[in-house]
Amino acid sequence: MMGKKVLFCVVLFVMASCVQAGLMPLVNPSFENTSGTDEVSIIDWWDSKSYTTTKAEDGTAVPLTPYGENWGQLGNGRWMYQQIGTYEENMVLDISFLLGQPTDKIVAGLEVELFAGGDASLADNVGTKRDNAAFPLDSVVGAVQIATSGNIDPFTDPDTAPVMRTQEMFVHLSTGTAGAGYAVGDPLWLLFSRPSVAGKALIDNVQVPEPATMILLGVGALGFLRRKRK
């Protein structure tokens, strides 16, 4: 009986390890790393350089954040991405972040996307907009968009009077099944971008928890049910 229990635990551990192989820890997810050489852009993320920056909270024009002292800020058509792991099929990612609106511009929309595939060594900071044909994640890196949140904006202020505020955001995206241009084991990318309209989005505390926890719970419940039946 004891041996069976240990074996069951080992099986759970191995299964959890397998699932976790798909994701890697985010780098600078709270934008607190502001040192380095690319001051006009966002450290540790690949980004669109101009109108893409780390922004310090001040409580007057830029809302305070509970996650350190800094935000990542995207302007008109701007973007940032990083590799978050390797592609696996049907991973449901519960992506969360804090969205902020400054006093000088409305958010007017933000898109959260997953890309898969491409050559990670070709990733770079490039000063072009998301809707430009030269947007590099697909045209240079060679990755393929596999999921998108669509354009999201929880704030509905009129253009003339943006109000400083924050909102916790939750986006659920699935990696689906492998398709043309990418395969299991290829790079998996997380991209934030704004549409090509006037506005600013402040982003902080980006989190992509391991989906393994849910699967582990599921397997555990299965084991519990099986045991009850005996």
Instruction: For residue 174, give the H/E element and its range.
Output: strand 165-174
* Nearer Cβ to Ca ion (110/147): 110
Positive or negative, the CA dihedral 182, 186, 187, 192 is positive
AA letter at 18? C
* 30 within 8 A of 70, measured Cβ to Cβ: yes
**26 close to 64: Cβ distance less than 8 angstroms:** no
Q: Rule CB under 5 A: is residue 8 a binding residue for Ca ion?
A: no
- Asked whether position 57 contacts Ca ion by CB under 5 A, the answer is no
Residue of the chain from 28, 29, 41, 190 that contacts Ca ion (CB under 5 A): 41
Task: Note the maximum CA span of the chain.
Answer: 70
Alpha-carbon distances, residue 126 vs 138, 176, 198, 202 (angstroms): 13, 28, 20, 20
207 binds Ca ion (CB under 5 A): no
Q: Which is nearer to Ca ion, 68 or 181 (CB)?
A: 68
| Residues 150-189 as x/- pattern, contact with Ca ion by CB under 5 A | ----------------------------------------
CB of 183 to Ca ion, least distance (A): 27
Binding pattern for the stretch 115-134 against Ca ion, x by CB under 5 A and - elsewhere = ----------x---------
**Position 52 contacts Ca ion (CB under 5 A):** no
28 binds Ca ion (CB under 5 A): no
Q: Kindly indicate which of the ranges 64-72, 114-122, 132-140, 150-158 contains the residues binding Ca ion, using the contact rule CB under 5 A.
A: 64-72
Q: What is the C-alpha to C-alpha distance for residues 153 and 42, in angstroms, rounded to an integer?
A: 22
Least distance (Å) from Ca ion to the CB of residue 165?
16
How far is residue 190's CA from residue 138's CA, in Å, rounded to a whole number? 13
Tokens 């907009």 sit on residue:
129
Which ranges in the chain belong to alpha helices (H)? 2-20, 136-139, 212-229
- Residue 68 as a binder of Ca ion (CB under 5 A): the answer is yes
In whole angstroms, the minimum distance from the beta carbon of 70 to Ca ion comes to 5
Residue 88 or residue 113: which is nearer to Ca ion going by CB?
113
Closest CB 57 distance from Ca ion, rounded Å: 8
| Residue pair 185/80 in contact by the 8 Å Cβ criterion | no
Residues interacting with Ca ion, by CB under 5 A? Answer: 30-31, 38, 41-42, 47, 67-68, 70, 125, 204
